[in-house]
């Protein structure tokens, strides 16, 4: 296995905007910034996404919060490019806050834009946080049925005391959706995934109805975080409160 310092790193950077002018600028960048992102040195697979209101897992857009997901060859490169590259600097100048999560893929199944973007390590550092990222392209005929299920799942995850962080994101409104949540450990994540009735019913409906044209499911381990979002940094606070432990095989 590659050393943790040199293994490929995935980042999710959130930018929160205040004021009509800044929010309008951020909305316009959903189209205008794509070329600049492609030119960032050493950036691999990447996506610029909007988010949903409330817990994020809703069809209503949040015009004050946007996210950039990117894959980098290693942690040092990820930190340097997000800190120094012009496109990220432009976003920071406009944003009221920015928050970057550094993540190491543990496992991944499926495809995103006909690619498998992650390089899973197969191992998870315990007791560091574990995140779950799902991405799906809905078949248009199933859009209404999918979004009828979403509010119950959103309410359930919002009320869960274990979840450290959650966000619903999307590339194309209503049709290409990403769910992202961070949990203290794999046990707390599994409790939600397998014991939440709303979540279980939604999964069964998706499978029975064949709602998705494309889907990806990935688990990623939390490596670190920088910045704040809504005045908090829940992931780093959790990491600082926990002792280091040995690397254990993911199950």
pLDDT digits (tens, 9 = 90+) for 119-154: 887 776 566 788 889 888 877 766 666 666 655 555
More confident position, 40 or 159: 40
Measure the CA–CA gap between 176 and 137, rounded to whole angstroms.
4
CATH number, domain at 148? 3.30.70.100
Asked if residue 13 lies in contact with residue 98, where contact means CB atoms within 8 angstroms, the answer is yes
In a domain, 54, yes or no: yes
Name the band, by pLDDT with cuts 50, 70 and 90, for residue 60: confident
Structure tokens at 185: 């450990």
pTM over 0.75? The answer is yes
| Whether residue 218 has pLDDT greater than 60 | yes
With 0-12 / 13-18 / 19 or more C-beta atoms within 10 angstroms meaning exposed / middle / buried, residue 208 is: exposed
Q: What gap in Å lies between CA 251 and CA 247, rounded to an integer?
A: 12
Query: Residue 248 domain-assigned?
Result: no
Decide if 235 is inside a domain. no
Which has the minimum average pLDDT: 10-19, 31-40, 119-128?
119-128
pLDDT at 34: 94
> In which domain, by residue range, is 173 found?
9-228
Helices within the chain (DSSP H only): 20-32, 34-38, 75-84, 86-94, 143-159, 186-195, 197-209, 234-241
- Specify the number of domains making up the chain: 1
- What pLDDT score does 1 carry? 34
Q: Which is more confidently placed, 60 or 23?
A: 23
């Amino acid at each position: 296995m590659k050393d943790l310092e040199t293994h490929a790193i995935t980042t999710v950077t959130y930018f929160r905007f205040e004021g009509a002018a800044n929010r309008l600028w951020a909305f316009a960048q959903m189209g205008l910034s794509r070329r600049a992102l492609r030119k960032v040195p050493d950036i691999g697979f990447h996506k610029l996404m909007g988010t949903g209101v409330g817990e994020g897992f809703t069809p209503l857009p949040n015009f004050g919060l946007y996210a950039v997901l990117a894959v980098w060859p290693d942690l040092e490169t990820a930190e340097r490019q997000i800190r120094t590259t012009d496109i990220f600097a432009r976003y920071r100048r406009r944003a009221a806050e920015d928050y970057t999560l550094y993540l190491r893929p543990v496992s991944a199944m499926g495809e995103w834009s006909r690619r498998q973007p992650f390089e899973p390590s197969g191992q998870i550092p315990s007791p560091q946080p574990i995140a779950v990222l799902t991405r799906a392209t809905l078949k248009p005929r199933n859009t209404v049925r999918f979004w009828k299920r979403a509010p119950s799942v959103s309410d359930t995850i919002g009320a869960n005391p274990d979840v450290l962080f959650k966000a619903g994101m999307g590339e194309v409104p209503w049709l290409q959706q990403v769910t992202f949540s961070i949990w203290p450990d794999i046990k707390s994540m599994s409790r939600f995934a397998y014991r939440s009735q709303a979540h279980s019913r939604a999964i069964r409906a998706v499978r029975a109805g064949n709602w998705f044209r494309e889907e990806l499911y990935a688990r990623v381990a939390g490596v670190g975080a920088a910045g704040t979002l809504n005045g908090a940094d829940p992931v780093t606070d959790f990491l600082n409160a926990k002792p280091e432990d040995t690397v254990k095989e993911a199950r």
